[in-house]
Amino acid sequence: MQLKELASQLAVSHILGDGETVVTGIQTDSRKVRPGDLFLCISGLVTDGHQYAAKAVQAGAAALVVEHDVDVEVPKLVVKDSRYAMAVIACHFYGYPSREMKMIGVTGTNGKTTSTYLIDAILSGQGFRTGLMGTIQMKIGSQVTDMERTTLEAVDLQRHLRQMADVGTDYCIMEVSSHALDLGRVKGCRFRTGVFTNLTQDHLDYHGTMERYQAAKGLLFSRLGNEFTGRSDERQFALLNADDPASAEYAKQTAAQVVTYGIDSEADVRAERIEISSKGTRFRCVTFKGTADFQTKLVGKFNVYNSLAAIAAALLEGIELDAVKSSLEAVHAVDGRLEVVDAGQPFLVLVDYAHTPDGLDNALSTVKQFTKGRVLCVFGCGGDRDRTKRPLMGKVTAKYSDYLYVTSDNPRTEDPGQILLDIVPGIEQSGMPAERYELIADRREAIEKAIARATPDDVVLIAGKGHEAYQEIMGVKHDFDDRQVAKEAIRGRFRD
């Protein structure tokens, strides 16, 4: 595509050099530039992409997008805001793929990955071709790849959406993180449905306050439904959790049709008579398309919310309640979410991805409900992330656990020992005596100790890393999988 065609998408911009220069790809990271690419210089939070313009050109960049002139001899498109230009250019370059599929975006502090998996299971169960994008994986046609980010930057997002559209995808179901909304990664995407799971504390390192965090998530809804076309297949929906106070604000902001789900409040899709066991959950679901009794393999009240979101999203696509029920009931636990680790031991070991105070409250209160013996919890807090959530996570784990093994969870560039110390005030506040918790920076050792202490009827919950297969220390990712390590610890203990 010619540089001048991309320039024509931006009202206030100008070209320095030959506008007929052809670019064959788009890139925002100089280290990934290939010959013929257009390199966009983004002024980021850590560094300024303009500094890497020369490197990008050395690697073969045919042209640049810049906010100011740089001393490099290739044609340049000068824009006001290169992050905004990135979304506009990416959408145009890849031919607006989100218009060729029905996009379902899920935002919220917890439950995004789980809800997207459930929606995917129901829609694909009906024979629709689905694509999935989120924390664990990206699925395009039959190809599945692991992900490093929850929501991709606009250039990567649009490129993959193009691939999804090209393989004939009917529905793209994707997680939309608050970082993505705030940084404009999904600008230009046309969503059919925006789903809100819940809002509780996380990411205050980035957003600063809960108000700003709430507002970032609100962008998914405030951009939804502004155009009424009269066509039912072009209707847009804001699917909101009636039990979460933030929903009222999102309902006001959106022009889309608001549909609610919930348990405690009046809602369009509501669960009643909830019965939770360690094997699954039963509930009656009263909807605008009838009533049905569900028996799912997913454990916990929080998973009833995730199920309701998925049921409502599917009903809005015209799927019959019976069909929704049979697909949902067939779903097993999502990878690393209350996943059972079984190496023949006489007690239950679960690996879960709870890494926020509310996530831990949900996971642990659920476990507590069906534990006859003691709850032994292994957990930590991520480095280079919201520090204020650390004592809160300490407090909530202490509330539900009989023994706590406080350990590392991706210390990243921080001192692991200091992160543990940041957690302790919350444990102390809960009144847990010192002999019932240990600080063990080495996660393997912490898991081994918890497994060594467990007796029949106890439950060991290893929280925070779920599906992750690494432990990031000082910027280096070391192989580490809680499920594998737990199995090794069990085998070590029960070896004859």
Ligand X SMILES: Nc1ncnc2c1ncn2[C@@H]1O[C@H](COP(=O)(O)OP(=O)(O)OP(=O)(O)O)[C@@H](O)[C@H]1O
Ligand Y SMILES: CC(=O)N[C@H]1[C@@H](OP(=O)(O)OP(=O)(O)OC[C@H]2O[C@@H](n3ccc(=O)[nH]c3=O)[C@H](O)[C@@H]2O)O[C@H](CO)[C@@H](O)[C@@H]1O[C@H](C)C(=O)N[C@@H](C)C(=O)N[C@H](CCC(=O)O)C(=O)O
Ligand Z SMILES: N[C@H](CCC[C@H](N)C(=O)O)C(=O)O
Rounded Cα distance, 119 and 216, in Å = 23
Q: What's 70-86 look like in SS3?
A: CCCCCCEEEECCHHHHH
Residues 459 and 367: beta-carbon distance below 8 Å:
yes
Q: Does 337 bind ligand Z (CB under 6 A)?
A: no
CA dihedral (246, 237, 84, 184) in degrees, to 10, reads 40
Q: 282 - beta bridge partners?
A: 275, 295
416 labeled binding residue: no
Q: Among ligand Z, Mg ion, ligand Y, none, what does residue 113 contact (CB within 5–8 Å per kind)? A: Mg ion
Q: Which of 67, 358, 386, 472 binds ligand X (CB under 6 A)?
A: 358
- What angle separates helix 389-400 from helix 416-429, to the nearest 10 degrees? 50
Q: Which of 28, 30, 130, 135 binds ligand X (CB under 6 A)?
A: 135
Rounded Cα distance, 198 and 356, in Å = 12
Q: For ligand Z, which is the closer residue by CB, 150 or 222? A: 150
Q: Among ligand Y, ligand X, ligand Z, none, what does residue 197 contact (CB within 5–8 Å per kind)? A: ligand X
Q: Which of 336, 359, 394, 464 binds ligand Z (CB under 6 A)?
A: 464
Q: Does 116 bind Mg ion (CB under 5 A)?
A: no
Q: Among ligand Y, Mg ion, ligand Z, none, what does residue 44 contact (CB within 5–8 Å per kind)? A: ligand Y
Rounded Cα distance, 233 and 389, in Å = 42
Q: Among Mg ion, ligand X, ligand Z, none, what does residue 83 contact (CB within 5–8 Å per kind)? A: none
Name which of 267, 280, 454, 433 is nearest 377 in CA terms: 454
177 labeled binding residue: yes
The footprint of ligand Z on residues 240-269 (CB under 6 A) is: none
> Min. distance of Cβ 251 from ligand Z in angstroms?
26
150 labeled binding residue: yes
> Min. distance of Cβ 132 from ligand X in angstroms?
12
Q: Mask 303-322, x = binds ligand X (CB under 6 A)?
A: --xx----------------
Q: Does 397 bind ligand X (CB under 6 A)?
A: no
Q: For ligand Y, which is the closer residue by CB, 76 or 289? A: 76
Q: Does 386 bind ligand X (CB under 6 A)?
A: no
Rounded Cα distance, 177 and 186, in Å = 10
Q: 473 - beta bridge partners?
A: 412, 476
| 3-state SS assignment for residue 379 | strand
Q: Which of 50, 112, 162, 483 binds Mg ion (CB under 5 A)?
A: 112
Q: Does 197 bind ligand X (CB under 6 A)?
A: yes
492 labeled binding residue: no
Rounded Cα distance, 394 and 425, in Å = 8
241 labeled binding residue: no
362 labeled binding residue: no
Q: 300: which residues sit within 8 A by CB, 6+ positions away? A: 276, 281, 338, 362, 363, 366
Please classify residue 74 by burial: count the beta carbons closer than 10 Å to its beta carbon, then call 0-12 exposed, 13-18 middle and 19+ buried: buried
The footprint of Mg ion on residues 169-198 (CB under 5 A) is: 175
Name which of 175, 251, 259 is nearest 218 in CA terms: 251
Please list, residue by residue across 289-308, b when 16 or more beta carbons sit within 10 angstroms of its beta carbon and e when fewer do: beebebebebbbbbbbbbbb
> Min. distance of Cβ 149 from ligand Y in angstroms?
3
Q: Does 156 bind ligand Z (CB under 6 A)?
A: no
User: How many CB atoms are located within 10 Å of the residue 21 CB?
Assistant: 18
Q: Which of 102, 162, 289, 385 binds ligand Z (CB under 6 A)?
A: 385
Q: Among ligand X, ligand Z, Mg ion, none, what does residue 161 contact (CB within 5–8 Å per kind)? A: none
> Min. distance of Cβ 42 from ligand Y in angstroms?
4
The Cα-based distances of 341 to 113, 249, 352, 360, 468 in angstroms read 20, 41, 11, 19, 15
Interacting residues with ligand Z (CB under 6 A): 150, 355, 382, 385, 409-410, 464-465, 468
Interacting residues with ligand X (CB under 6 A): 108, 110-114, 135, 150, 175, 197-198, 302, 305-306, 337, 352-354, 358-359, 362-363, 466
Residue ranges for the known binding site are 30, 108-114, 150-151, 177, 185, 385, 409-412, 464, 468
Residue ranges for the known binding site for ATP are 108-114
